[in-house]
């Protein structure tokens, strides 16, 4: 008997490799087509498909049994594709010189943008000392996120690591969208304040 998507996800949550292989085989072809239609590039779509399934393997517990597994899977894929397309519009070419400044207040996103301060962008293209600095800043930011209260941290991670939109986060956590926005605002304000304290 063939297992349903929810049954496969429950097994994947326990890191069952066979269940993951079945899930991948079931959804990969359609997901590849979906992403190709969005990004208009088969190679990039293939990379995004790998990223989608990596997230399924690493974060399968984010699906909590509400809604369809397929809708959750396609939301991940669509968010990744949109982030890629936004990145292409913002950075059509790799920078020739590394940025010399550290993160500034203006680098912080608005509520509907992805969390990508300037120092997190194109790290692979930076000169070695700058790349090291960017890596240290990323680790520091991860530490500051870990200091957030549990409910705020959960929303922050779903939005900026899980790349979910505010409405999806609200559905996932069964809370009003306004509460999600409020928690996200608090988180960014707290992170900006702590960052400034450490820089000073």
What is the distance between the alpha carbons of residues 23 and 31, in angstroms, rounded to a whole number?
12
What is the domain range of residue 21? Answer: 1-93
What is the distance between the alpha carbons of residues 79 and 9, in angstroms, rounded to a whole number?
20
108 lies in the same domain as 155: yes
89 lies in the same domain as 106: no
Q: What is the pLDDT of residues 96-110, one digit of tens each?
A: 444 444 444 444 444
73 lies in the same domain as 159: no
95 CB burial (10 A radius; 0-12, 13-18, 19+): exposed
2 lies in the same domain as 78: yes
1 lies in the same domain as 58: yes
DSSP string, 43-94: HHHHHHHHHHHHHHHHSGGG--SSS-HHHHHHHHHHHHHHHHHHHHHH-SS-
> Does the pTM of the predicted model rise above 0.85?
no
Low-confidence ranges of the chain (pLDDT < 50): 92-126
pLDDT at 135: 64
Q: Assign 3-state DSSP to the chain and report helix, strand, coil percentages, each to 5.
A: 70, 0, 30
Among 52, 64, 71, 159, smallest CA distance to 115 is for: 159
Given 93, 124, 143, which residue is the final one in a domain?
93
Given 68, 93, 118, which residue is the final one in a domain?
93
What is the distance between the alpha carbons of residues 32 and 36, in angstroms, rounded to a whole number?
6
What is the distance between the alpha carbons of residues 98 and 130, in angstroms, rounded to a whole number?
7
CB atoms within 10 A of CB 197: 9
- 116 secondary structure, DSSP code: -
2 lies in the same domain as 87: yes
Q: Rounded to an integer, what is the distance from CA 138 to the centroid of its chain?
A: 14
Count of domains for the chain: 2
88 lies in the same domain as 105: no
51 lies in the same domain as 109: no
pLDDT at 104: 43
pLDDT at 123: 45
198 lies in the same domain as 112: yes
């Amino acid at each position: 008997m063939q297992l349903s998507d929810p049954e496969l996800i429950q097994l994947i949550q326990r890191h069952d490799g066979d269940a993951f292989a079945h899930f991948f085989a079931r959804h990969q072809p359609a997901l590849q087509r979906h992403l190709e239609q969005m990004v208009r590039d088969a190679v990039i779509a293939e990379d995004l498909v790998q990223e989608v399934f990596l997230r399924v393997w690493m974060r399968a517990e984010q699906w909590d049994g509400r809604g369809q597994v397929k809708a959750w899977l396609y939301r991940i894929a669509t968010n990744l594709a949109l982030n890629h397309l936004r990145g292409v519009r913002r950075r059509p070419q790799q920078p020739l010189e590394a940025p010399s400044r550290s993160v500034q207040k203006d680098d912080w996103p608005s509520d509907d943008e992805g969390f990508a301060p300037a120092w997190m962008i194109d790290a692979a293209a930076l000169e070695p000392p700058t790349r090291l600095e960017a890596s240290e800043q990323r680790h520091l930011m991860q530490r500051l996120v870990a200091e957030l209260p549990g409910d705020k941290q959960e929303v922050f991670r779903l939005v900026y690591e899980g790349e979910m939109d505010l409405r999806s986060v609200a559905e996932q956590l069964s809370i009003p969208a306004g509460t999600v926005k409020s928690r996200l605002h608090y988180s960014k304000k707290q992170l900006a304040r702590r960052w400034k304290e450490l820089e000073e």
